[in-house]
Amino acid sequence: MRGKRYPDEFKIEAVKQVTERGHQIADVAERLGVTSKSLHNWINKFDKPEKQHITIDNQQD
């Protein structure tokens, strides 16, 4: 069974807490009730320049 689904806005905010505000991944994950692995995955997906987001999104269609 798969885990809970989170909207992209939630994931992006979680990533910002790590990448822009300097919080530890484990702390953010625990506070938000997600796994550190999920947060790592979100960082890999969302911590890229906007142009890359568009390219990646277009390739998945």
Give the chain's mean pLDDT: 85
Please choose, from the candidates 18, 13, 20, 11, the residue with its C-alpha nearest in 3D space to the C-alpha of residue 45: 11
Residues in the chain predicted with pLDDT less than 50, given as ranges, are 61
> Domain residues of the chain, as ranges?
8-60
Quick one: pLDDT at residue 47?
87
Q: 2-36: buried (b, 16+ CB within 10 Å) or exposed (e) per residue?
A: eeeeeeeeebeebbebbeeeeeebeebbeebebee
Quick one: pLDDT at residue 48?
74
pTM given for the model: 0.73
Cβ 35 vs Cβ 41: under 8 Å: no
Quick one: pLDDT at residue 20?
94
Three-state secondary structure call for residue 36: helix
